Amino acid sequence: MDPLPVSLKELDRVEVLTLMDNFVDVLLEDTKVVSRPPKAIGTEIPTDTLLAEHGLSLLVKVQHGAEKHTILFDTGYNSMGVLHNMAKLAVDPNEMEAIVLSHGHMDHTGSLHPILQKISNPIPLVVHPDAFLYPRFVEEKDGSRRRFPRTLVREDLERRNVELLESKTPTPILDETILVTGEVERTTEFEKGMPNALIERDGNLEPDPIKDDQALVMHLKDKGLVVVSGCSHAGIVNTVRYAKKLTGVAKVHAILGGFHLSGAFFEKIVDKTIDELKALSPVVVVPMHCTGRKAMEQFSREFPSSFVLNSVGSKITLN
């Protein structure tokens, strides 16, 4: 049965602050959409700086009238990086009302436990149950395999200050201001997941569809949907299409996050991905993390007025 359209409040404002991404450049300038972190404290250039890594973590703030909410979407790779950047950006972990994990891979879950140690009260953690599956592997061209580290263990989280919310289906959170998609419907013919991903079940290796891949959806008043992805293992076009289906909102205002278009296999579908996203006419496009350098350059060319170069510490403001 198809999910019924989910009712989301129409927001007056959405802010997405990058706490971690693959790239940092402290010399980037502000635009109408993005503000960059200050280059100095008063007149003094700091002796320390923001850190980048192969990971993603976003602080998402929404506003509906006087109602405001803040969540953390993913927690980066390294156990220290996100907390370091939080301190540099004056982000208090206790301001977060929920944590959402896009999927179970280590570059999105690495700082989860250190962050939880900094939070005083129990906090909801929204996660697809398949994020706990283990072991998972990446297969190389020569047939050798690399095993993903195990960073999510249900029993470990149950012992922490966490209200575990496991769901495969769409989950509205924080008074219906943000929707977590749950498992994304896969309908495009060209987005085929991560072909070299494997999972072990009952002692047997089989393809890993990474069904735990999920995204955030918000509805910006008079503008349309804001879709924030983690890695888009389900495909960024599938993700945006599913967001439209879930909400019944046809217009797409902004698409942000990892599009997973890095490497030879995925570079073959960059053209088709861009064509499909162009048809949606987004006003803001912010590729991050696993999108890949070549794809980033192509997005920059093909979306000249919409593209935003992301960097750690950048804040995207949509209103």
Per-residue pLDDT reduced to its tens digit, 211-268: 999 999 999 999 999 999 999 999 999 999 999 999 999 999 999 999 999 999 999 9
Per-residue pLDDT reduced to its tens digit, 12-47: 999 999 999 999 999 999 999 999 999 888 899 989
How far separated are the first and last CA of the chain, in Å rounded?
Answer: 35
pLDDT at 2: 59
77 beta partners: none
Give me the torsion for CA of 232, 233, 238, 243, rounded to 10°: -50
Q: CB of 265 within 8 A of CB of 135?
A: no
**Domain 10-318, CATH among 3.60.15.10, 3.40.190.10, 3.40.50.12160, 3.40.50.300:** 3.60.15.10
- Please classify residue 95 by burial: count the beta carbons closer than 10 Å to its beta carbon, then call 0-12 exposed, 13-18 middle and 19+ buried: middle
